[in-house]
Amino acid sequence: MTINEIIARLEGGNARFVEDHLDGKLQDSSRRNSLTGGQQPYAIVLSCADSRVVPELAFDTGLGELFVVRVAGNVANTSSIASIEYAVAHIGTKVIVVLGHESCGAVTAAVQGGDNGYNLNHLLAHVSPALSASDEGAEVNDVVKTNAKLTAQELVARSTIIKSAVDKGDLKIAPAYYHLGTGKVEFL
């Protein structure tokens, strides 16, 4: 599939999810057996860990279709970037969706500030560029969108593997925003 065909497939799957018409294909034993020798996912999704945001459902995909990396706040840290690099370099996956979502707890914590302990402070530091780029008193959901866009840029800035694939036209990075109630994925 071309990059445009992949985006169209994701949009089509999301439309089925929104309309409660999941086709639920590629989730059975024959699909499992067809994948034991390897994987060829056509898209990478960098998603938050939030239980309400499930990329495989939101895009109506089955086994082996999406390479999903999940971390609170869908941030680009060393581990999430390394995971994405694997799919780009070794599988040749052509699309990365950076999927922020409505009412994100991690972004809310970053907006509220304060000391959240060593580990969460470390994670929330990756959201701080989005805070800096937002107006004082900005709505959490606006910061979420800014965070998705800046994270897309960060992936290129911090990875020569990702940058080189983007420069060659082999890879597209698409920031997006997931609406909790409708299930709609809005590409930003």
Smallest separation, CB 101 to Zn ion (Å) = 6
Q: 180 with 102: CB under 8 angstroms?
A: yes
Residue 74's Cβ-count burial label (10 Å; 0-12, 13-18, 19+) is buried
Nearest to 39 by CA among 118, 93, 80, 115: 93
SS (HEC) of 110-163: HHHCCCCCHHHHHHHHHHHHHHHCCCCCCCHHHHHHHHHHHHHHHHHHHCHHHH
**Stretch touching Zn ion by CB under 5 A, among 18-26, 27-35, 96-104, 170-178:** 96-104
Work out whether 60 is an interface residue with Zn ion (CB under 5 A). no
Amino acid at residue number 38: G
From residue 102 to residue 141, the character string flagging contacts with Zn ion as x (rule: CB under 5 A) and all else as - is --x-x-----------------------------------
Would you count residue 66 as binding Zn ion (CB under 5 A)?
no
Q: Does 48 bind Zn ion (CB under 5 A)?
A: yes
Size of the site for Zn ion (CB under 5 A): 4
98 binds Zn ion (CB under 5 A): no
Part of the chain binding Zn ion (CB under 5 A), chosen from 46-54, 56-64, 119-127, 146-154: 46-54
**C-beta of 184: minimal distance to Zn ion in Å?**
16
> For residue 88, which of 53, 42, 51 has the smallest C-alpha distance?
42
Residues that bind Zn ion (CB under 5 A): 48, 50, 104, 106
